[in-house]
Structure 1
Amino acid sequence: MIQKNKTTLIDDYAKADPTALMNQFQTGNEGLSGAEAEKRLQKYGPNTIQQGKKRSEILVFLANFTSMMAILLWVSGIIAMFAGMMELGIAIWAVNVINGCFSYWQQHAAQKATDSLKKMLPSYVKVRRDGKSQQIQVEQLVPGDVFDIQAGDSIPADARVFNTSNLQIDESSLTGESVPVEKKADYHHGDGEFAQQNIVFAGTVSTSGTATALALATGMDTEFGRIATLTQSQKKTIYPLERELNHLTRQLTIIAIGIGVAFFLLAIFFVKYPIAKSFIFALGMIVAFIPEGLLPTVTLSLAQGTQRMAKKHALLKNLSSVETLGQTTVICSDKTGTLTQNQMTINHIWLPGKEYDVTGTGYLTNGKIQLNGKDVDLANELDLNKLLINATINNDTEVTEGKAGEKSKILGTPTEAGLVILSRKAGIDAKDERKAYPRLKELPFDSDRKLMTVITKDPSGQLFINTKGALGSELAICDRILDNGQVRPITDQDRATINQANETYSKQGLRTLAFSYRIVDGDDPLAHKSLESCTIQSAETHMIFVGLTMMSDPPRPEIFDAVKNCKRASIRIIMVTGDSPITAKSIATRIGITSDKARVISGDELDKMSDDDLQQAVKGEVIFARVAPEHKFRIVSMCQKNGDVVASTGDGVNDAPALKRADIGIAMGVTGTDVAKDAADMILTDDNFASIVSAIEEGRTVYSNLQKFLLYILTSNVPEAAPSVIFLVTRGLVPLPLTVMQILTVDLGTDLLPALGLGTEKAEPGIMDQPPRPLNSHLLNRSIIWKAFGWYGLIASVVSTAAYFYVNHVNGWPNVPLAGSGMVYAEATTITLGAIVFSQIAAAMNCRTQISSVFSIGLFSNHRILTGIVVEVVLIALLMYVPFLQGVFNTGPLNLSEWIFLFCIPVPIFLIEELRKYIVRRIKRVPKVA
């Protein structure tokens, strides 16, 4: 009995004798019997792509509550409850619950690559069962089934083809190759993987022709299924931001616990507090130094970043991937459909003695075509007219105009579609032309002779033979040439000139197609034979050479600026494509990814390279061509071993494993397969490579903004701790100027909205002129610590402490002792809280830029921050005047002079910081904002 197919057996199946292969699978031309098919269905299972083991939805949900920061908050809540501060503990837990639910909602569209694989398979297939042709559901197809393939069919299984007729298969979803490949019954192995001439693969599409096929493998045993398995087995790497937040959490935990221990010891040995009371005091300090608002602020800021990127056609599926984009150092990019437009376009025409550049030619309907920037009347260009007629009638492809904003729909091959569009640009309607030249017989293209010929009647009633194909094959059948409207014998010099032109264009990565024709007059032997007796030998002979067309899959117009911007930002682009080395290097050089000196490594060469050699290769200028799925996966892995943060683009099934392996997987939203989209972290809704650059700039801006509001949040820790320091230094003579609940008001209340506003700041000038930040850099660095604790925080501590003593002074201090309870104490702690809040108003404005003047970006340009400032003022007022809140937060009302004092605080603090930034700019000579 047959065994399940393995990848290594594909070539053996391709080489096998057809009869022997049928016998091996215990089938024949009549197909399987219904009973046998049922047995095999039970043995091999349905022809579907099985899902990988999915995590329980409950576990996915709970994972959003188990990050290091979340665990720290859970512990903080427990500590607060243990210390008798039940309201504080509940509030901290509430923050954690809200943040976790928000994160789960953002990430609910989880990876479902295997579901998408099933969607790509056809619903029905025509098989032969019990000697009859019947249609069955594709899930019921089994190895050994004989099925039919027609143009437009999706291939349901890996299969060996027989009885082919002009069969063309689009394998771009597997190989990345933009041009359909011909399939024939005879064995031939081309370049790269999936290159057996007589094997078709599941998930590919037939673009033309017909065939009978024997199913060799179904479901997960297909090459399609193998890629699915590779995708499922690859675990997603942890995002750099997640690692950084874990690192930050450890830093903050050490700081908080260190301060708590210090305050505990000082309270016992310096203030002579009882151990129990000292412990509760220290717990309060630990809670105070944990920035409870950091995690929701980070989450919401990243969410805002994803919304802004969505407006720029980049959809992020995971919040943390926003920042990772900003750290990207290498983009491994596919060519077809990513850097190029994924449509074959004629850009040059070569005729004897004439060359035409038709790049960018628009549609004309007046019998003229724009050539070399000039309108040319086709009536005066007999050679060109002959070529265009040949390209139109020797063509089986139809191109229908798409709706506004949509691409034209192609039924046939991209190469022939390019010819149809070229003729259409000259005002030639394919349908009208084919009616004027009714087709009598077709000699289909095959890879041996590399020609396609049609025999038609011209308008005068004569037989008209038109041939198109590879130049070498065309020249072999031509003994005449059309030169400036005149037919003459072709000379050796003509052949040398034609070959030289072909070589010149080939070096530019262009695909050439040659054309010839012959009119069957009375002296032609074919005029006296029936078309039924017409053979390839009798038709394709004594032809008249017309000329060449050159075509390519053109680069996207916006790609040139995008590549320049990547280089400006010190981001390398490595092209990884299934296309030919010549074409790949031509495109890469043309759009500026690499120079002419770039090394081109083919898939076969890559197979022979060790990991060390490949790791060195990806450090330099390199292009990868004719690659397989494992190759792209391996390339991404080696870049990561070099310490690069890798973004990998793609649109096909073959790209899914690499997309999942990369730090950032980027799928094309329009042309991309569902598999690629589900494996990716980011989807480009416009398939525009330039959107990646915008997304990277946004990622860098998000990281910069994360540091800005980290600075802003930590700034308040110093004035929050200062009252306790004063309490310890005075050995309790100065009552605590700030309660723990008031500290929580700053962390979770007044600070939150301005911090979120900082997350919406635009990029400062020059952010894309800098290299990506080093992998060993951290959010919390020396600069932020100094600014938060030694500058902004110190100023706020002085101001808030002064406010506390000011209220006590107005109420009789130092002549009367400092109040430790009652209305005066409530008023003193309230103005201390207010002074911290109004100092934070200045900090919010100061943190909007790192060294640029806030005036240069617009003092009132960030409406979110302004709204946050208004809200925090209203919130502090509610705490002062609502009786219930007064009792919970130990606050009291302030008089008019005290309010005036508070409103005066932000101005000098803001101006002092502006002066510092001015001095820094003078030293560093930082450019002003445009």
Structure 2
Amino acid sequence: MTTDQLAHLSVDQFYKTLQTHPTGLTDTVAAQRLKEVGPNTIQQTKSRSQFKAFIKNFTSLMALLLWVSGLIAMFTGMLELGIAIWAVNLINGCFSYWQEHAAKKATDSLKKMLPTYTHVLRHGVTQQIDADDLVPGDVFTIQAGNSISADARIIEATALQVDESALTGESLAVDKTPTYAKGDGRFEEQNVVYAGTVAVNGTATAVAIQTGMQTEFGQIASLTEHQKDTVSPLTAELDRLTRQISLIAILIGLIFFVAAIFFVHYPVAKSFVFALGMIVAFIPEGLLPTVTLSLAQGVTRMSKKHALVKELSSVETLGETTVICSDKTGTLTQNQMTINHVWLPDREYTVSGEGYVNNGQIQFKQAPIDLSQHPALATIVRVAALDNDTEIQEETSAKPKIIGTPTEAAHLVLAQKSGLDLDQLNKQYPRVQELPFDSDRKRMTTIHMQPNHAGAVIYVKGALDGILAISDQLLENGHARPLTDEDITKINAANRHYAAQGLRSMAIAYRPFDGQNGLPADSADCTIANTEQHLTFVGLTVMADPPRPEIYDAVEKCHRANIRIIMVTGDSPLTAKSIAMKIGIDDDQVRVITGDELTKMNNTDLQAAVKHEVIFARVAPEQKYRIVKANQYNGEIVASTGDGVNDAPALKQADIGIAMGVTGTDVAKDAADMILTDDNFASIVAAIEEGRTVYSNLQKFLLYILNSNVPEAIPSVLFLFSRGLIPLPLTVMQILTVDLGTDMLPALGLGAEKSEPGIMDQPPRARTAHLLNKTIVWKAFGWYGMIASVLSTVAYFFVNWLHGWPHVALAASGNVYIMATTMTLAAIVFCQIAAAINCRTQLTSVFKIGLFSNHRIWFGIGFEIILIALLMYVPVLQGLFNTTGIAGSDWGLLLSIPIPLILIEELRKAIVRHHLAK
């Protein structure tokens, strides 16, 4: 039978069905059941191989291409080239693994949330057992502060309240009683408690129904564990880019292989080596390590903005985000019930002041209030503080620990904000008796002695309808008078007004203890029947879980960036819509879909619904998962935020899962791709901006890396079409020098470039858009590349001209040839210096952002110059790279190359800006 069916049964039928007894199981039966159902633990259903995690960094399409390229180079006699290519692959793979070594341990974290021990009845005797040994049919006790070990039915309870936020996302504690009542949404059976939730008030005796993986908690773990890892858009895009570049390189290599045989009449082996040189020239060997290192820089920058990224590729995915499926409680709101209004029959007070401590005051129209001048307000604040079983323990952290319910904590904070000293107040009005809260009465009563021997007083707080029914007086202007029908109408209207705004209200009343009107002479003899009557109604405290202060600006930025926010919450529809309207997510016409309605929707209807503005309320874990998948089916890049166990499946399914680091469960953190260390929604927006910047920078250094391919290839074209009359102006090892040596650090500098203005005023890039687009191809090959090709070719012929060409044939070997190839290589490097500066912006002038504002670019440029100098003058490197030293006048020529190239590009950008402005 299901948990809900078992909750319907009478107590006797329930015991019979589970084959148990009010005195509990025997040790023998419990041991047998433990063998049958297994331990009460969350089990990991699949192993996570660290070896596989390591190997995957060496098996991407680009990595495989480099392995093959290195192998071919070795077999064709270019051992140094092969070793260099493999070394780059090894370093990049190890670096990627080091960055992503944090394993996903969602199910391990679930274990940590379960308590270690449970008190059970065995043979009618209370025993403390390991929670792992709890079995269905065990009778166990629950006390305030206990984590609950199993899904269980309540048999007896006294004022039991349970925090189910880890499952439902609902911030208010839920009342639990032995009587069955079906609530609104999942996990709302009144006489059932669930594993992983926490008792915040009262006591209870319960019988375990399900344990371990059969609990709702375990089912969520199973759903999370079996969810397949999705391929990030960046990974897919890099694979596509690799295929594009590989196909181009191989086709060009094939063309040059055939041409070398038939045009130059090279032997097949020599033609193959020549073709390999062309392939090497067109494959950007430095692309993969550069992308990896650029993403790592993005991870570092994001960590400074309170966002920890676990997967490198997730950085760029953030920039593509089109939809954020956001939890409400603790994500959009503060997960902290706060009283923001105090309503009295003659006046309404607005409460302000932040925090848990005495750093604020009750205010009305922003003016501090003197409670001594407002007797009714003083009374309501005093009742809020004294008719209260919750404690706030001040800690060193910014948010003190609450021992009790959020609602009662809100009333204590109200008293603190008014300037009351809680310890002193409790000494002045010592409690002598309590009539605990229960879900039938929906109120709590305490009796206190008043100072100066003024007798006792009865304080009551609870649901409005129940308190109005037992009130016959109204406190107005500091004096009690009879409560009229007109008063009741006015009070109910105020309550409905607040409810329509998604706010919750609590009624406050009191009664002087004078031993008359049915009250016993001794307060110790007070009962619910003889005490909770003839009350004097004081007013309402009105509370809500307030939005985070930063949320308004963050939502506005998302709207500007064309990113939709879909609220997905376990809270009520009214509260969800109210918060959404308040923070600007949606307007009054937005559609609200409840969990029950969602259950009845097929996937097609759901996919249609999420194309428009929508809020989801009272949803269950698997429903969040469905919402994310429906958006992905529509082609959206989905970021899903959350902090509870219920969020884990959706976090794992989403293109990027974002968990809250402070209030989030370990389950959510381990299932997510990114963790916010400050639980601030604004940090998500900052991370999205960083993600967009990373993608823009990826395109910048892709342009930078690819543009050198043209001057690397042109020498081979000249050699080929001259039928060998023009010797190769650039060797294969010199080509590799550019790809893996001089280009690397400036490219990394481009990866650190700040975002250009207006990046968050643009819509997310379309999924059909690609890193390598027509603009980049034109700039790389037709503009930057062609200019560099002309200049490097001129450098080659310039050296030969100095030594007698064209009267003397071009040398194919010897010192003149080495000098010519050295100058060709150096000219390409100095063209790349200009390209590094030009690639910093797409349209903005580099002089506007600051020519020297990116120090990493200039460090890379300095490294380029030093490296080319070492290749020219260090004997060992000269022999390896076929280089030699050059004259001082040659250095003057090289140093003059970047300036005109930068000015020409500035002119082009200015023309484009002028055209776009028109």
TM-score (norm: length of structure 2): 0.98
Question: 1:467, 1:516 within 8 Å by CA — same for their partners in 2?
Answer: yes
Question: 1:364, 1:425 within 8 Å by CA — same for their partners in 2?
Answer: yes
Match in the other structure for 1:5: none
Match in the other structure for 1:194: 187
Tell me, yes or no, if structure 1 residue 185 matches structure 2 residue 168: no
Counterpart-to-counterpart distance in 2, 1:703 and 1:386:
59
Per-residue CA deviations over 1:382-413 (Å, capped at 9, x if unaligned) read 1111111211111101112232x520211100
Out of 852, 858, 862, the position equivalent to 2:850 is 858
Match in the other structure for 1:155: 148
Counterpart-to-counterpart distance in 2, 1:252 and 1:358:
63
Letter in 2 for 1:507: A
Counterpart-to-counterpart distance in 1, 2:726 and 2:71:
29
Match in the other structure for 1:472: 465
Tell me, yes or no, if structure 1 residue 335 matches structure 2 residue 306: no
* Aligned ranges 1:50-199 → 2 under 5 Å: 50-199=43-192
Q: 1:363 to 1:442 in 2, by over 3 A?
A: closer
Counterpart-to-counterpart distance in 2, 1:375 and 1:673:
39
Match in the other structure for 1:447: 439
Question: 2:353, 2:417 within 8 Å by CA — same for their partners in 1?
Answer: no
* Aligned ranges 1:330-369 → 2 under 5 Å: 330-360=323-353, 369=362
Out of 426, 431, 434, the position equivalent to 2:426 is 434
Match in the other structure for 2:226: 233
User: Which ranges of structure 2 fall in alignment gaps of 5 or more residues?
Assistant: none
Out of 634, 655, 658, the position equivalent to 1:663 is 655
Query: Deviation at 1:362?
Result: 8.0
Per-residue CA deviations over 1:611-648 (Å, capped at 9, x if unaligned) read 11111111111111111001111111111111110000
Out of 910, 915, 925, the position equivalent to 2:907 is 915
Q: SS at the partner of 2:759?
A: coil
Per-residue CA deviations over 1:180-213 (Å, capped at 9, x if unaligned) read 0011111111000101111110100011111111
Q: 1:366 to 1:401 in 2, by over 3 A?
A: closer
Counterpart-to-counterpart distance in 2, 1:334 and 1:862:
38
Q: 1:519 to 1:228 in 2, by over 3 A?
A: same
Fraction of identical pairs, as percent: 66
How many positions carry a matched residue from both structures? 917
Tell me, yes or no, if structure 1 residue 552 matches structure 2 residue 544: yes
Counterpart-to-counterpart distance in 1, 2:327 and 2:356:
30
Query: Deviation at 1:367?
Result: 13
Letter in 2 for 1:138: A
Letter in 2 for 1:79: I
Counterpart-to-counterpart distance in 2, 1:907 and 1:377:
72
Question: 2:332, 2:681 within 8 Å by CA — same for their partners in 1?
Answer: yes
Per-residue CA deviations over 1:210-248 (Å, capped at 9, x if unaligned) read 111111111111100000000011112110000000100
Out of 758, 765, 770, the position equivalent to 1:766 is 758
Per-residue CA deviations over 1:307-338 (Å, capped at 9, x if unaligned) read 00000000000000000000000000001100
Per-residue CA deviations over 1:891-923 (Å, capped at 9, x if unaligned) read 111111111111111111111111101111111
Query: Deviation at 1:676?
Result: 0.1
Match in the other structure for 1:573: 565
Question: 2:352, 2:362 within 8 Å by CA — same for their partners in 1?
Answer: no
Question: 1:361, 1:371 within 8 Å by CA — same for their partners in 2?
Answer: no
Mean Cα deviation higher: 442-451 or 745-754: 442-451
Q: SS at the partner of 1:325?
A: helix
Match in the other structure for 2:496: 503
Query: Deviation at 1:141?
Result: 1.3
Out of 677, 688, 693, the position equivalent to 1:701 is 693
Q: SS at the partner of 1:519?
A: strand
Question: 1:581, 1:602 within 8 Å by CA — same for their partners in 2?
Answer: yes
Out of 191, 203, 209, the position equivalent to 1:210 is 203
Q: 1:900 to 1:558 in 2, by over 3 A?
A: same
Counterpart-to-counterpart distance in 1, 2:103 and 2:812:
55
Mean Cα deviation higher: 74-83 or 494-503: 74-83
Q: SS at the partner of 1:525?
A: coil
* Aligned ranges 1:217-256 → 2 under 5 Å: 217-256=210-249
Counterpart-to-counterpart distance in 2, 1:223 and 1:513:
32
Match in the other structure for 1:425: 417
Letter in 2 for 1:412: G
Q: 1:367 to 1:759 in 2, by over 3 A?
A: closer
Counterpart-to-counterpart distance in 1, 2:121 and 2:441:
32
Q: 1:860 to 1:530 in 2, by over 3 A?
A: closer
Tell me, yes or no, if structure 1 residue 620 matches structure 2 residue 597: no
Query: Deviation at 1:461?
Result: 4.9
Match in the other structure for 1:727: 719
Match in the other structure for 2:628: 636
Q: SS at the partner of 1:735?
A: coil
Q: SS at the partner of 1:527?
A: coil
Q: SS at the partner of 1:638?
A: helix
Match in the other structure for 1:825: 817
TM-score (norm: length of structure 1): 0.97
Letter in 1 for 2:351: V
Counterpart-to-counterpart distance in 1, 2:12 and 2:914:
85
Counterpart-to-counterpart distance in 2, 1:367 and 1:623:
34
Query: Deviation at 1:152?
Result: 0.5
Question: 1:383, 1:485 within 8 Å by CA — same for their partners in 2?
Answer: yes
Q: SS at the partner of 2:586?
A: coil
Tell me, yes or no, if structure 1 residue 536 matches structure 2 residue 494: no
Q: SS at the partner of 1:720?
A: helix
Query: Deviation at 1:867?
Result: 0.6
Counterpart-to-counterpart distance in 2, 1:286 and 1:361:
64
Q: 1:563 to 1:367 in 2, by over 3 A?
A: closer
Mean Cα deviation higher: 847-856 or 445-454: 445-454
Question: 1:364, 1:426 within 8 Å by CA — same for their partners in 2?
Answer: no
* Aligned ranges 1:773-922 → 2 under 5 Å: 773-922=765-914
Query: Deviation at 1:709?
Result: 0.3
Counterpart-to-counterpart distance in 1, 2:883 and 2:357:
79
Counterpart-to-counterpart distance in 1, 2:559 and 2:876:
60
Out of 453, 477, 490, the position equivalent to 1:484 is 477
* Aligned ranges 1:565-604 → 2 under 5 Å: 565-604=557-596
Query: Deviation at 1:845?
Result: 0.5
Q: SS at the partner of 1:768?
A: helix
Letter in 2 for 1:212: T
Letter in 1 for 2:801: H
Counterpart-to-counterpart distance in 1, 2:837 and 2:627:
45
User: Which ranges of structure 1 fall in alignment gaps of 5 or more residues?
Assistant: 1-7
Letter in 2 for 1:811: H
Question: 2:308, 2:676 within 8 Å by CA — same for their partners in 1?
Answer: yes
Query: Deviation at 1:363?
Result: 8.7
Q: SS at the partner of 1:526?
A: coil
Question: 1:362, 1:370 within 8 Å by CA — same for their partners in 2?
Answer: no
Counterpart-to-counterpart distance in 2, 1:364 and 1:607:
44
Query: Deviation at 1:359?
Result: 2.7
Question: 2:70, 2:81 within 8 Å by CA — same for their partners in 1?
Answer: yes
Give the RMSD, CA atoms, in angstroms. 1.5
Match in the other structure for 1:3: none
* Aligned ranges 1:666-677 → 2 under 5 Å: 666-677=658-669
Q: SS at the partner of 1:604?
A: helix
* Aligned ranges 1:739-750 → 2 under 5 Å: 739-750=731-742
Question: 1:358, 1:372 within 8 Å by CA — same for their partners in 2?
Answer: no
Tell me, yes or no, if structure 1 residue 646 matches structure 2 residue 673: no
Counterpart-to-counterpart distance in 2, 1:367 and 1:397:
20
Query: Deviation at 1:374?
Result: 1.5
Question: 2:826, 2:894 within 8 Å by CA — same for their partners in 1?
Answer: yes
Counterpart-to-counterpart distance in 2, 1:525 and 1:43:
59
Query: Deviation at 1:368?
Result: 7.5
Query: Deviation at 1:262?
Result: 1.1
Counterpart-to-counterpart distance in 1, 2:418 and 2:758:
47
Tell me, yes or no, if structure 1 residue 326 matches structure 2 residue 319: yes
Question: 2:320, 2:692 within 8 Å by CA — same for their partners in 1?
Answer: yes
Q: SS at the partner of 1:784?
A: helix
